[in-house]
Each structure stands twice: as structure tokens, then as C-alpha cells.
A and B are shown apart, each in its own frame.
Chain A
Amino acid sequence: NAGVTQTPKFRILKIGQSMTLQCTQDMNHNYMYWYRQDPGMGLKLIYYSVGAGITDKGEVPNGYNVSRSTTEDFPLRLELAAPSQTSVYFCASSYQESSYEQYFGPGTRLTVT
């Protein structure tokens, strides 16, 4: 099993550009999550999904969109990139919520200039 994979690993965007961060998991997990981590800070939840076709906002959803058309994939879309979105983005998945550990992807380091 590859676990949770994310692409790209690094990206530089200009202000106003758009991009999609890809996330795929092969563990047949129902729950998937997107976090951002700013330097010296903990992770903040952007969006999450409890299954294909179902998504909901987390703590910091503004400026982002998600979709979940399959169990495996959970892409994160940035429509109009802003410098405040410079961060490291982690995708994670878990079998269920609550007591189940989340498995994290390797992260995407995004810089918006």
C-alpha cells in the first residue's frame, strides 16, 4: 500500500493564479481531510469528507474548494491564490472518525508570491 500520496511536492504560484492539490489514498478509508500548517504552528483543518459525495468545512475554508467523487481521491482547489495561502498542505485519511488515527500524506509546500 502506498498510503496517502500528494502531488505536487512543491509549487510556486503568482497571486491570482489557480491550482489543484491532488490527494489519493489506497486504504479504502471513508474519511479524508485537508490541513494547512504555517511555520511554528499546528495544523488547521480546511475541509473534510466523510465519504464520496460528502464534504464539509473545517476551521479555515475560505479561499479553498474541495470535491470527493471517489473514495480514493480528495483534491483541494485554490481559485485565486493569495500570499496568505503560503503554507504546507497535508492531506490525511482515516477509517472512521473519533478514535481512529489519521494517516498523513507527505505534504505540498506552496508559496504564493
Chain B
Amino acid sequence: GQNIDQPTEMTATEGAIVQINCTYQTSGFNGLFWYQQHAGEAPTFLSYNVLDGLEEKGRFSSFLSRSKGYSYLLLKELQMKDSASYLCAVNPSWGKLQFGAGTQVVVTP
């Protein structure tokens, strides 16, 4: 079956670094997405990985290891506005994204 696992909640201090892990077992793989979702709002795109390695975008980086079925999202220099849910989503085929339950990141002063 399809399974995407990520921690339920993480807490970190403003200015710190947080790493959100995502492990997946899916019947196919055409890439992995990370989305950010603030409470009561729609998800917004953060990153996409299809090849192994690290993709860096400003304060956010995403890593993928296809052989291990593993990805992480790294948030650096945390700001209060980064408090949100972070969704890992795998594309097993034809755009049918499979989402994890999301990791709630709480940034404290």
C-alpha cells in the first residue's frame, strides 16, 4: 500500500534550524513535493525533488534519497511566520499526489 510518514509536531526557537523528516513507501515515484500550510489557509508550494540530493531555496532546503524512501525539509533561521504545517507529498503517478498528515512546526520566541 501507500504510506507517507512524518512527525506530528516539532517545536523550535526563533533563529534556530529545524529538520522535518518524511519517509515514504509508494507503488511508483515521480517526485516528492513539500508544501507549507498556515492554519485556515491553502497549501502553498515550497519545493520539488525528483533526483537524489539537496535542493536549496533561500532559508529552505529539501533533500531526497530515493533508495531509502526518505526526504527532509530543512528550515534555517526560523522566523515566527514559519509556524505552520508542512506537508510531504509523493507523486506516484500522473499527478495523483499522496500527502502525509503534515508536521506542525511551532516557532517560539
Contact = CB atoms under 8 A, between A and B. Distances in A.
Overall SS of chain B's interface: loop
Interface string A32-49: 010000001111110010
Contacts of B41: 106-107
Given A48-B96, A58-B96, A98-B95, A41 B43 contact: no
Contacts of A106: 41-42
B87 A42 contact: yes
Contacts of B45: 101-103
Given A40-B101, A43-B87, A97 B42 contact: no
Contacts of A31: 95
B30 interface: yes
B44 A97 contact: no
B48 A44 contact: no
B95 A94 contact: yes
